[in-house]
Amino acid sequence: MDPKTLRYAKTHEWAYLEGDVCTIGLTKFAVDQLTDIIFIDMPDVDDPVSAGDSFGEIESVKAVSDLYSPVNGDIIAVNEKLETDPTLISSDPYDKGWLIKVKVEKGTTLDQLMTLEQYEKQIASEEH
């Protein structure tokens, strides 16, 4: 997926909305910060998620971080490949390394999330 077409949460998740299905992943910046990813604890299909709430966790050698949903809805798919090969999220965070797909209510938009340009400004300030 083209990072320019994605929207971004402050907590470094990206979101892509197509119809009523929102695909959620973690940005390259976040993945690079974590580096040695060893485990991703994923939710189950049909679990509800709420915007701003944790739906799983990602563990690196050094630390563990929560994964936050940028939208409300129900999980319709999780990327099971990550359970056997968590390095996929490092090598391909915008395609093969996606995390979950959420069915959102009709009329849901991603307008509250950042554009790529806004997100890049945020990470530039975090790097200092």
| Contacts with other proteins, residue ranges (CB under 8 A) | 35-36, 38-39, 41, 57, 59-64
What is the number of other CB atoms lying within 10 angstroms of the CB of residue 105?
10
Task: Specify the residue, 62 or 106, whose C-beta has the smaller distance to other proteins.
Answer: 62
* Sheet of strand 21-26, all strands in order from the earlier edge strand to the far edge: 7-8, 13-18, 21-26, 100-103, 73-78, 48-49
Task: Specify the residue, 39 or 53, whose C-beta has the smaller distance to other proteins.
Answer: 39
CB of 59 to other proteins, least distance (A): 6
Task: Specify the residue, 6 or 37, whose C-beta has the smaller distance to other proteins.
Answer: 37
CA distance 29 to 41: 20
